[in-house]
Amino acid sequence: MTEILAENLSEKEVMGSDGMNLGTLYNITMDLKTGSLHHVIVDPAERVTSTEFDRDEHGNLLIPFTRVQAVKDNIVVSR
């Protein structure tokens, strides 16, 4: 994957590979020792009721970073 500055990811729309709008990027978690990315945290769109992804205590979707397929105009994750 190409390098992208974190500031360019702020509030990017997150889409499933099936075209469904999952919500807006809220944050990203990482391991500070290794630098590996763990989760893309998504503020879910109102109509998202999927139990496919875990949720945090605020109801945000926790999408494993390994599911990220592309980062361009949107962030695309495999579904």
Element (H, E) at 60: none
pTM: 0.83
What confidence tens digit (pLDDT) does each residue in 47-74 have?
777 778 999 999 999 999 999 999 888 9
Least confident of 6-20, 22-36, 49-63: 6-20
DSSP H helix total and E strand total for the chain? 0, 7
CA distance 15 to 33: 29
Topology, domain 6-77: SH3 type barrels. (2.30.30)
Ordered by start, the domain boundaries in the chain are 6-77
